[in-house]
Structure 1
Amino acid sequence: MSTRDIFGNDVSGRTDNEQWATWAAEEGLEAEAVDEDEIYIVDERPELHATVAMETRTKVDTNHPDTRRAGLTLAAEERIEAREWEIERTRTRVDRSPESDREHRTAQVVEQESRERRVSFERRAASVDSRRDPDAPDPRERLSGEELAAVNQEARRIQVGIPEAGSTAAISRELAEQVLRTGDLLSATVAVADRLKTQPGTVTPISRLGDVPHGEVDFSGRVAVLWGPSHPAIQQVGLIEDETGRVKVTVWDASDQPWLDEGERVRIHGAAKSWYQGRVSVALTSRSRVVFPERETWQEQIS
């Protein structure tokens, strides 16, 4: 007796028809007896096939670089592991509540760290300027109510006149220290204003350029006159004036600075200061910066 399965292959061993029928019934198949010695198994169960969308999704999931590590560099594997770790950590909230205050707590931590860094910087700066020591007692606490009001009013006036001087609070603290030292608000105001006018980064009146204690100055004015240079290394030479005075300006050819025109208003930052025959003069180097306020205003109007 030969026995065949549904694919027509011979089944090793021999069995009787009853055993095949019992097996087919257990499997949910129908057994059809052709003759006494041969049985055909017929599978009438529906054949299942994956849809096109399922096959496409399977290929994407299998071949996507984020799902398989084979062939990736060590750096790529580390990035994947770090991203998975960050996703898992983000999902797990500390407070385990639907509405997390994580953003608020993060802002508080950042603000605290910023405050600590600022205090640390001010302590280092206090070695050069004692006025910046954050641990020093506030001199404004030693003033009376009327004195403190007058100091704050003068500090606001200084800040309006010298925008680069800093915050009103910092000016009022320095002014209060000067008042306690001299006992006179007027002289303290003059001293503080003079110092702030000559500090680095402040636009200094031309008449006060000689009082600036450092080698580079910032000032503004109008080009009064230009004349021919006496040396090929000089691009331009002339005078710039404001309401307080005039200063000689030399533009070196190697400085790569824009050309100045007579009558034009300019603002110069980082000009090198020098002295000649007892008079202060400035030179524009590659580190200097020239701003033309009237040109910028004209460009804004036509744009």
Structure 2
Amino acid sequence: MSSKNVTSEVVSVDEQAFEKADEAVVDEDGFEVVDETPEFQATVQMEVQAKVDANHPDGMVDTSEERIYGATLEQEERIRAREAELERISARAEMGMQDGRENRTRDIVAKQSAERRVEFQKRAASVNPWADPDRDDPRAELTQEQLAAVNKQSMRLAEKLDGWSRAAIGRRMGEAVVDGKDLMSAVVGVFEELQTAPGQVVPIGMLEGVNRKEVSIEGTVTQLWEPSSSAISQVGLIEDESGRTKLTSWVASDQPWIEEGERVRIHGAAKNWYNGRVSVALTGWSTVMFPERGRWWE
């Protein structure tokens, strides 16, 4: 007769209590802390039913149009909260950091620029008293008849001088008249001064009096001849109603080809002297335009 002996580890009541004490959470006085907060968890069936209700076409019929289709209330709340947070961050950055900083920087730069301009004008006033920013407009010192004549002549010159307003021309003429010039001398002097100012197309006949290394001219290429050097692309004469001068186009400047008899407008031409006469040359910084090219209707 066989018998099976089943042995088991016998644990005393004190040992069991000690193990339970290790598992339980106690406070500083040694008393067990009991968590009385209930924990709610959705069952699998509840989660499945929630997804079905959220995605079913009939589930959104009676809801607000602001609801997000296909999302549960929990998902929708998270999405709305995230969107609101992004809008708040964007608004704070726009008002406090970006636009505000740009506006402040713009104001500071404009103020500094105005201060430098005033400082420069005050230094220039030692040479030209009319450059003083504290001095009134010279036209205020003219008589009524002189002012009327200056305004009339400034309107006439504004039609001939591109880029100059009637007010700017009138101010320059007013300065000349107040300084003692008669009206006709003031008109001629201001016209010649502004006609050869930087950025203006200078008449070819007035190039000798221009104290700049670069000029802008417009005229017709009346003659071209064979270059004397391989470094020269084209050489010839360009003229307008006031005179003519030599025109040289260097190979290194890579400028467009000009036909004889063609009218061109050149900006940034280098002014040189050739055999005691003024001449112009095309460089890599020059701009050549052809006003009459492409005018097929003529």
TM-score, normalised by the number of residues in structure 2:
0.65
Which position in structure 2 is the counterpart of 1:193? 191
Q: CA deviation at 1:60?
A: 10
2:288 matches 1:290: yes
One of 44, 63, 75 as aligned partner of 1:58 = 75
2:161 matches 1:142: no
Residues 225 and 236 in structure 2, CA contact (< 8 A), matched pair in contact too: yes
Q: CA deviation at 1:202?
A: 0.6
What are the equivalent positions in structure 2 for 1:141-180 lying under 5 Å apart?
A: 141-164=140-163, 166-180=164-178
Q: Is the alpha carbon distance of 1:191 and 1:82 closer, same or farther for their aligned partners in structure 2, counting shifts above 3 Å?
A: farther
The amino acid that maps onto 1:239 is L
The amino acid that maps onto 1:170 is A
What are the equivalent positions in structure 2 for 1:68-107 lying under 5 Å apart?
A: 82-86=89-93
Q: Percent identity?
A: 42
Q: Is the alpha carbon distance of 1:63 and 1:80 closer, same or farther for their aligned partners in structure 2, counting shifts above 3 Å?
A: closer
SS in 1 for 2:179: helix
Residues 122 and 133 in structure 1, CA contact (< 8 A), matched pair in contact too: no
Residues 178 and 188 in structure 1, CA contact (< 8 A), matched pair in contact too: yes
Distance (Å, rounded) in 2 between the aligned partners of 1:88 and 1:183: 57
Q: CA deviation at 1:296?
A: 5.1
Q: CA deviation at 1:248?
A: 0.3
One of 201, 214, 217 as aligned partner of 1:216 = 214
Distance (Å, rounded) in 2 between the aligned partners of 1:296 and 1:122: 44
Q: Is the alpha carbon distance of 1:124 and 1:221 closer, same or farther for their aligned partners in structure 2, counting shifts above 3 Å?
A: farther
The amino acid that maps onto 1:160 is E
Q: Is the alpha carbon distance of 1:182 and 1:262 closer, same or farther for their aligned partners in structure 2, counting shifts above 3 Å?
A: same
SS in 1 for 2:134: coil
Distance (Å, rounded) in 2 between the aligned partners of 1:88 and 1:176: 48
Residues 232 and 251 in structure 2, CA contact (< 8 A), matched pair in contact too: yes
Q: CA deviation at 1:268?
A: 0.5
TM-score, normalised by the number of residues in structure 1:
0.64
Distance (Å, rounded) in 2 between the aligned partners of 1:60 and 1:228: 84
CA RMSD of aligned residues (A): 3.9
Gaps of 5+ in 1: 1-44, 70-78, 90-108
Give a deviation string over 1:140-182, Cα, whole Å, max 9, x none.
Answer: 1110111101001111111111113x21111111101101112
Q: CA deviation at 1:231?
A: 0.6
Q: Is the alpha carbon distance of 1:152 and 1:268 closer, same or farther for their aligned partners in structure 2, counting shifts above 3 Å?
A: same
SS in 1 for 2:279: strand
Q: Is the alpha carbon distance of 1:86 and 1:263 closer, same or farther for their aligned partners in structure 2, counting shifts above 3 Å?
A: same
Q: CA deviation at 1:59?
A: 7.9
Q: CA deviation at 1:137?
A: 1.6
The amino acid that maps onto 2:259 is D
Distance (Å, rounded) in 2 between the aligned partners of 1:219 and 1:261: 17
Which position in structure 2 is the counterpart of 1:123? 118
SS in 1 for 2:159: helix
SS in 2 for 1:266: strand
SS in 2 for 1:54: coil
SS in 1 for 2:266: strand
Q: Is the alpha carbon distance of 1:287 and 1:80 closer, same or farther for their aligned partners in structure 2, counting shifts above 3 Å?
A: farther
Gaps of 5+ in 2: 1-45, 56-69, 97-103
Q: Is the alpha carbon distance of 1:219 and 1:117 closer, same or farther for their aligned partners in structure 2, counting shifts above 3 Å?
A: farther
Which position in structure 2 is the counterpart of 1:251? 249
